[in-house]
Every structure is written in C-alpha cells, then in structure tokens.
Structure 1
Amino acid sequence: MMPPHPAEPAEGTRPRLDNLTLSRKEGLRALAEAPRRVQPEILTLKQIATLGEAARLEYDHLRSVWHANLGPLKTPQLEALHEDLWDIIASNQQDGDKAKGAVAVDAFPGLGKTTAVLDFALKYHQQEIARAGAFTASGHERWPVCRVGLTSNIGMKDFNRALLEFFAHPGRKSGTAALFVQRALDCVLECETKLLIIDDLHFLKWQDKNGKEVSNHFKYIANEFPVTLIFIGVELGNRGLYSESDARGDITLAQTARRTTPLTMDAYSVRNDKERRQWRKLMLGLEQRLVLARKYPGMLADDLTDYLYTRTTGHIGSLMTLINRGCQRAARTGAELLDEDLLDQVKLDAGAERARKALQKKFERKRMTTKPRSRAAKTASAKTVA
C-alpha cells in the first residue's frame, strides 16, 4: 500500500529557504547547508483521486515547491564556468601581500549567470567548512563567502555598509565610509572570507562620481582584502569595467581592467548535432524531475523539444520559468502532463516572447531543429509508418 504522499524530511530538519536573503550570512549558510530536497513520489491519477483533502493539499504543496526549485541543472555552460572559477580561485592562494585577480561573469539576462555563480559559491562554502571547520583558530565563525547586491547610484559608504550588513556587524548603523571599510576588513580577516561576490554590477554608473568612487574602492579591496572578487552583471564591457581610461583620459580604471578575467555564459544553440544532443540531454534531465501523474518518456525530449526551444530561444532562465509555471498549471488543473496546448496558456517574459516570432518561422520552414539527425530520422520514419 502506497503512502498518501511521499516521505519528506521531518519538520524542523530543513530551514525555510523561501524566507531567506542572500544579503545576510545566515541566509547563505542556510542555503549551503540545507539537506538535499527529496523529490515527491509520482502518484497515479487514481492514487491522487483517493487522497483525502488534507493529504491532497499537502501533496500538491510538495509538488509545487519541488517544481519551483528544479535547478540548478548541470548544464555544459554551468560546468564550464565552474571549471574556470575553480582554476582562478585555486591560483589566487597567494600570500596576503599580493593582490588577487578578479573575475567578471558577464552575460545577458536569463542565461543563469547568478544561479551558476551562487551554486559555485555554495559548493565553495561547503568545501571550506568541511576542510577547515565552522570556526577559525581564533574562535570566530568562518564565513568563506560574502555576497553583496548593488543598487542604482550606490556610493562607497553604501557599499561598505552593505558589507557590514552581510556580517551583521554592530557598527553598521553609524560611522564614516573609512570606518565602515575598516570594520569590513576586520570581518573578512576574522571570518577568513575568501570570496566576495558583487551582484548586479551593471547598476553601477562608472562615469559619474559614485561610479568612479566605487570603482576605485574595488581596487582598494583587491589590494588590501585577501579575497577574490567575483563581479556579476550585464554588458560590463560596454559599461566601462574593462576600460583603461574614461572619456577624459583618467586611467584609474586601468588596474581593474588588467586584473579582471571576463567569463560568460551562452544560450543553448542547436546549429549542429553536438549542440542538439546537449539540448536533448537537458530535456531528458528535466523530464526525470517532473512530478506529474501523466508524464511519459519523451514528453519533453521528443514531443516538446522544438516547441520549448522556440518559446525560450535556448535561454535557461526562460526555460525553467516555462517548465515551472507549466507544471504548476498542469497539477492545479488536473491535466497532469505538459503539452503545447497547456504551455500556450502560460505567460513568459517579454524578451522570450519577442524573440520567439522570428525563431518560430525558421522551425516551421524546417530550417532549424533541435533533434539530432538520427533522432529526427527515426521520428520521420515513425510518422510515415503511422
């Protein structure tokens, strides 16, 4: 006799990850050290129908949370970025008197750059805690990673305060910019922080007063803090991160440009069979994670592969959003599977919908496909027999 709903970790063993913020150290640790989610059991339509009201609500809630957190997926783009980051972090173990190289992860929105960097940061946190322990030799809590998200028109004092907010420093409420940065340095040294992640760097206006101030401040941090800076943003090159001077010939940006290694992430492409096989592997991996009563082998990888690529133009962020919302609708309406009719009802981001129109024509005219040649030939043969 099957249980009315799948087993899950006992109450209290898993923190409420929907109620955390990565701008606080406790939030990052909770995410890094949370036990792995347990995939809900796939019940049949009959089994779902026999559930009592309370059990049905609980089962649907478990599925809803599961589908909302399907990632991150080990895509080729994510794995390549992680390999580069491990290379750079490992090579940045110089003594404290030497400045460490920085990294800039620069890609268009929806390609998973923040997700990929965060996944790396969580693994790094786990590795450092496992290697060196949760406390330093001086008895302070060890925080291997610090993350700060930028806002528009942020100045040096605001940035330093954000650093102190992450560490919950008691002196974060008052003080000068100089005092804030010294307190931040104390936190980094006492907590043995090794990675400083700065997200949404594109908000920084490099050419105005605040932008230059913070840019120079990054140079100071690179020189004085024993950390590796990881910048995340959109079109950082065009915004001046790698410029060696500004419009007036000021060369204060040169040091940042010379010390920063640009990395990127690309959308999925299906120009050749190798790329099509990568897309198909992604579809098969997603299929295995879906908890829908009527799902079947090939639902995504065969029947919806071209449709999903057209809808999302190969952007992993748009794809995960479409799958998540589609599963929520399929479970709520009782459809219990994904097909084009259901997914056509799911709203998606404006960028994906705008790019879809031009791409769809290429697929309709058979100028593009996501199916490897051998797979496409089998599909055509099957249709002919039918």
Structure 2
Amino acid sequence: MHRADDQDVLDLIRAFMGLDVTLILTGVNIPGTGLLREARWHPKQRSWVMPPLESTRVHGLEVTQTERRFELVDLDRFRTTTTAGSDAFLDHLQGIEEHLRLLNARDGMLTQGTMPEYLLRRTGGVVGLLGRLIEDGCLEAMASGRELLDEDLLDEIVIGREDLTHPPDSEITAPQPRPKSRSRGRNTVFDDHGPRSDRAAG
C-alpha cells in the first residue's frame, strides 16, 4: 500500500461501501497486503507510510476503521480426507468443467476416472494452482489442436510452488522464468520546446 495506485483501490472500495449492495471480494493474504490499511503520503520520505494501528482489536489483531467494515473469511485448500471435502472438490471441478469450451471436451473430463486424484496431487488442493494448471492446459490444448484436457497434456504444464505457506507433499515443478520486457522511453511528441524564435536564437 505504498503506491498511489494502491490508495486509489482503497478509495474505490470505500466508495463501494456507500452502495446498497453486498460485495464478495477475493484475494490472497489480504491482512498481509495492507489493502485495508490507511496509508498516508509522507512528504519528507516521499513514500506512502502505514500509520500506527488503532487500539481496537478483532480476534486479537489490531484493525483500522476500514478493516472493521469487512468480514474476512479464510478459505483453505481442498482436502479429500473426508466425504464432505471430496464432494466439495468434485463440485468445484464440475463447475469449472461446465465453463470450458474446448471443441473435444466431454462430460466428466475433470471429474471422472483418475483425473480428480491427478489434479489434487498436482496442485495440493490449492485453488490458485488448480486454476493456473487448467488455464494453461486449455491454452496448450487449443494451440496443439487437441482441444481436450487429459493427464498427458497436463503433464506438460509447469506450475510453481512459490508463495505457498504449506507446500503439498507431492512435487510441484517451478515455472519457467519469463523474459523481461524492455521498458519504453517517454513519448516526447507533445513536449513544448518554446517558440521557434527562441530555439533559433539559442
């Protein structure tokens, strides 16, 4: 929350609070990002700084006025150690499957056979990794012309284990580094260089 853009997002969230609607927002490590904290611009340091936390505590944690307006719900990874957990994971896969538009997609593509166990093993039940694996798998399926997700195709997809607090026991291969894009110089087309007479004299 040390950038002006971050503060703009917070201001937008505050504006949403004035609407007569219920918002369900999702994100990763919301308390740690400081998204709901109220940073201020420090002119001497020339940066955004976090103010001291207020004394009000919720569940043992000090929170700001903005944070108190939200109810944080922690979503853990999918686990299949119980029937309810297995059903929830299959329901999630079913919901994803219904929205896939691959030409050779079939019913049960993600929910039947050994595919659920495979997906759980590859991702450890982490929703973000599951989404990344399926998204990248769909791109590969379209690019290769297979238009179908199966274990052979998904074996070609690399997903990362960084940012996982508790990595699953099964190995998750690290993603390949992406090439850095070159930054473009500033556009000077509309720069004002003064009157032509001044430039000629100089």
Shorter-chain TM-score bucket reads 0.5 to 0.7
CA distance in 2 between partners of 1:354 and 1:276 (Å): 17
Q: What corresponds to 1:341 in structure 2? A: 152
CA distance in 1 between partners of 2:119 and 2:63 (Å): 48
Task: Give the deviation of 1:230 after TM superposition.
Answer: 8.6
The structure with the largest helix share of the pair is: 1
- The reply on whether 1:301 has 2:120 as its aligned counterpart is no
The alignment partner of 1:356 has SS state of coil
Q: Aligned ranges for residues 90-239 of structure 1 at < 5 Å?
A: 126=16, 128-131=17-20, 149=33, 163-164=39-40, 172=41, 174-175=43-44, 217-219=52-54, 226-228=65-67
2:53·2:64 contact (CA, 8 Å) conserved in 1?
A: no
Task: Give the deviation of 1:339 after TM superposition.
Answer: 0.4
Give me the TM-score of the superposition, normalised by structure 2: 0.56
CA distance in 1 between partners of 2:65 and 2:9 (Å): 22
Q: CA 1:330–1:270 in 2, change beyond 3 Å: closer, same or farther?
A: same
The alignment partner of 1:330 has SS state of helix
Q: Could you tell me which amino acid in structure 1 is paired with residue 53 of structure 2?
A: F
2:137·2:153 contact (CA, 8 Å) conserved in 1?
A: yes
CA distance in 1 between partners of 2:63 and 2:147 (Å): 56
Unaligned 5+ runs, structure 2: 22-30, 172-202
1:355 paired residue among 157, 169, 187: 169
1:22·1:28 contact (CA, 8 Å) conserved in 2?
A: no
CA distance in 2 between partners of 1:316 and 1:262 (Å): 18
CA distance in 1 between partners of 2:105 and 2:63 (Å): 55
Task: Give the deviation of 1:219 after TM superposition.
Answer: 2.7
Greater RCO, CA 8 A, separation 6+: 1
CA distance in 2 between partners of 1:313 and 1:130 (Å): 38
For residues 126-160 of structure 1, the C-alpha deviation after alignment (integer angstroms, 9 at most, x for no partner) is: 4x34339xxxxxxxxxxxxxx9946xxxxxxxx87
For residues 85-105 of structure 1, the C-alpha deviation after alignment (integer angstroms, 9 at most, x for no partner) is: xxxxxxxxxxxxxxxxxxxxx
The alignment partner of 1:296 has SS state of coil
Q: CA 1:22–1:299 in 2, change beyond 3 Å: closer, same or farther?
A: farther
For residues 25-69 of structure 1, the C-alpha deviation after alignment (integer angstroms, 9 at most, x for no partner) is: 26984xxxxxxxxxxxxxxxxxxxxxxxxxxxxxxxxxxxxxxxx
Give me the TM-score of the superposition, normalised by structure 1: 0.32
CA distance in 2 between partners of 1:314 and 1:338 (Å): 18
CA distance in 1 between partners of 2:146 and 2:11 (Å): 37
Q: CA 1:22–1:278 in 2, change beyond 3 Å: closer, same or farther?
A: farther
Task: Give the deviation of 1:314 after TM superposition.
Answer: 0.8
Q: Percent identity?
A: 22
CA distance in 2 between partners of 1:325 and 1:337 (Å): 12
- The reply on whether 1:283 has 2:93 as its aligned counterpart is yes
Q: CA 1:217–1:313 in 2, change beyond 3 Å: closer, same or farther?
A: same
2:137 paired residue among 326, 331, 352: 326
CA distance in 2 between partners of 1:294 and 1:330 (Å): 10
CA distance in 2 between partners of 1:347 and 1:310 (Å): 14
User: Between Structure 1 and Structure 2, how many residues are aligned?
Assistant: 148
Q: CA 1:176–1:339 in 2, change beyond 3 Å: closer, same or farther?
A: closer
